[in-house]
Chain A
Amino acid sequence: MTLEELTTAVITQTYVAAEGWYYIMTGLMVAIHVGFLMYEVGASRMQNAVSSGVKNLLAFAFMIPTFWLFGWYIYLAFPHGLIPMDMEGYGVPWNVSMGPMLSDQLTGVFWAAFTLFACTTASVFSGAVIERIRISSFVFLAVLLGSVCWNLGASWGWHYDGWLVTKFGYHDVAAAGVVHMIAGWFAFGVILNLGPRVGRYNADGSMNELEGHDLRFSFVGLLMIIVGFFGFLGACLIWPGIPAYEGVNTWTTIYFVPATLSSFAFNTLMGLAGGMIGAFWISKGNPFWMMSGGLAGIFSCASGLDIWYPGLAFVLGFVGGCIIIPANNWLHKVFKIDDPVGAVAVHGVAGIWGVLAMGIFASGYPGMDDTIPAASLYGQFVGALTMFAVGFIPGWGVSFVMKMMGWLRVPDHVQQAGIDKAELGLKATNY
């Protein structure tokens, strides 16, 4: 074999391996949606369990074509703000780049991974609105979140050329801000307009617990989400050898900064454990919050998942697990919202903590080269504020218009009859 043949073989194998990696990670991420579906079905009352699951399935089904139609293009075209870059047709659905090509093995699998990230944002949102949102309005809002909002935020802060990265050194490798904050605060905006489930609040403002019909579904569902997150986090790294960044022959983050899969393994597990233990302590052993705390622990470490010392990741996760329960109580008390799964606290609040923790404990970390500012608390604060706005403003604004149109909320008498029976003619079980 000549040197030229050997070089060709190595390059070919590098790209085939990268293609395989993202393909497998995409499959693994489906577990997130299995998990969210089970979690939300379990957290729903029996009379609404089927419609909660239908909502999750539809979010998945609508996100895939819309992310092919415009979601991927938005992510690629807007890193500099609201004016799209000229990409010579790349990324638009009628361009050859958006179909299988022998000369481009990676667009399809990158698109697929990003589509599953988009589905994750929709699943985060769906838990907050169960048992009273119209399925059609949910689908519309899920597409707005998953194929427009989060990917715009990702274009700004989760792209090596995004303005938050190049101007502020924003560092959010595993998407505490660009996925969890945007989805959590989008959900908050919607539930302000959607209102609580019938029976959630009494006339004097006191709150009733509307317990889900089967906690076991929620347990298993939350564990499945964690399984799926290993696919999500694995897909956040760039396969060695494919970034166009000279001299880097290891994994890199999405900012083309060197990283290792081991850093993700160390810190995902330590953050998860810290979050579970923190929520265990605060909730006095409530398993629903312990599992949510585990997720919050991962999100608390997500911005700096590539660089934390594992002991610090555990502490960050512990703090995340501790803050979500009082944050959830405070949001309910002050805003009289109804968030049956605590999605705003688990994703929105823990996401803020994750983004700011990067600035507090890891200021000074360099970007990929001298053109990128080092990470700083100021840059992380600007990033957090931006992610909050990208989630909350469209969520609140569009759902407000939908509310005015009478296209948001299941009427109270249908809620009381049970959505499964009234709308679908089904019931969750026959026992």
Chain B
Amino acid sequence: MSIFNSWPGEKGATSYGDIDAYFTSANSEGTLIFWTLVCIGILCFTTWAAARHESETDKNTK
């Protein structure tokens, strides 16, 4: 059973014959971990940015 991959990395397959996981970078666990960490980073960063904005509003309206 093959899996697809695309940039970055080697291509895992070039056709849909005998394919299971067919999403981007499916054969590169390191790349999947990277995107997972980016997701977590975005969630943490936006929550922090919202909290900072609220604190600034607090200061500016005193």
Contact = CB atoms under 8 A, between A and B. Distances in A.
Contacts of A294: none
A318 B24 contact: no
A369 B16 CA distance: 9
Contacts, number: 69
Of B36, B42, B50, the most chain A CB neighbours within 10 A belong to B42
Contacts of A360: 7
B16 A258 contact: yes
Given A311-B36, A361-B7, A280 B23 contact: no
Nearest to B22: A307
A389 interface: no
B53 A309 contact: no
A360 B16 CA distance: 21
A274 B43 CA distance: 9
B24 A304 contact: yes
Contacts of A263: 23
A285 B50 contact: yes
B42 A364 contact: no
Interface in A361-381: 361-366, 368-369, 374
Interface residues of A, number: 29
A114 B49 CA distance: 42
Interface in B4-43: 4, 6-7, 11, 13-16, 19, 22-26, 32, 35-36, 38-39, 42-43
Interface string A313-339: 011001000000000000000000000
Size category, B interface: 20 to 34
A280 B50 contact: yes
A315 B42 contact: yes
B55 interface: no
A315 B35 contact: yes
Given A307-B4, A311-B39, A315-B38, A361 B24 contact: yes
A227 to B, nearest CB: 24
A312 interface: yes
B36 A361 contact: no
B46 interface: yes
A258 B19 contact: yes
Nearest to A312: B35
A277 interface: yes
Given A277-B42, A281-B45, A365-B4, 18 more contacts: A258-B16, A263-B23, A277-B46, A281-B50, A307-B4, A307-B23, A308-B23, A308-B24, A314-B39, A318-B42, A361-B6, A362-B24, A363-B6, A364-B6, A364-B11, A364-B14, A366-B13, A366-B15
14 contacts: A258-B16, A281-B45, A285-B50, A285-B53, A307-B23, A309-B23, A309-B26, A311-B36, A311-B38, A312-B35, A314-B42, A318-B42, A363-B6, A364-B7
